[in-house]
Structure 1
């Protein structure tokens, strides 16, 4: 009983770069990103998956990184706000990052990385034709879902902003809709 192994080799591709780490089975992705890889964009807000400050993309889907055990993501692609540009050098902003700045869609900025990652996920989901709870049932299926203000607000509803920058956040997302 004393020989139970509590660690595992885990390989994650984070922002395009492979990382192989020995990870405690109880370690969540958020802590691994912040403490082991020094990617501090994703924030620890509620630590219960209710605020969205820790939102990142795993294999292109948005997730609350505070809820996911890192060992369960072996072989996955993780994209943080730092890696949205694709080159990872931070020189060129992602269109969403630029829109958030231009629209002044942040105040304290704590939730902003999670909001931006979630918005990137929203754009991908809509482009892939995934409906939301407010999507008109009569909307044609099989193609991209149109994103209006109501759709954007519904799809981003899992990301909280204590400062109340919601109108500007929705405008910033509208600015980058293809």
Structure 2
């Protein structure tokens, strides 16, 4: 059977009733105010807007839809700002470094400093060892190479740690927006 769809005159709740119940009185289930089911012009056909003493009106019967409201969600657009080189890029880098926190940045600075110190110490040790002639040349060269490479590795790891902090901060900013 067809249903009559109308709204409560007090609370605007959506109400439905069978066509057979047209003209009958009842109470709104939501606000308990007295309502009268509107009368259709022709049963099963288009409904006229009939104003009753309670200021209700008749709407046409619902179409073949399920009655659920259609919610349209706009597509999310990703906007990456393209900053020109210069002052703007430096400001954003400072902002991202501030977001990274002190722990990882402190680790990167300490690792870079230790790496630089190892490079300097290995070079100075190699120069003094070769002047004394107390050790053979290949041991000095091997020791210099190993300490120099470990110092460079410290510098590379420091830069990678700094880079990872910046990536994590950008991802966090992207997820928040």
TM-score tier after normalising by the smaller chain length: under 0.3
The answer to which structure has the higher helix fraction is 2
The answer to which structure has the higher strand fraction is 1
TM-score scaled by length of structure 1: 0.20
In terms of Rg, which structure is larger? 2
TM-score scaled by length of structure 2: 0.20
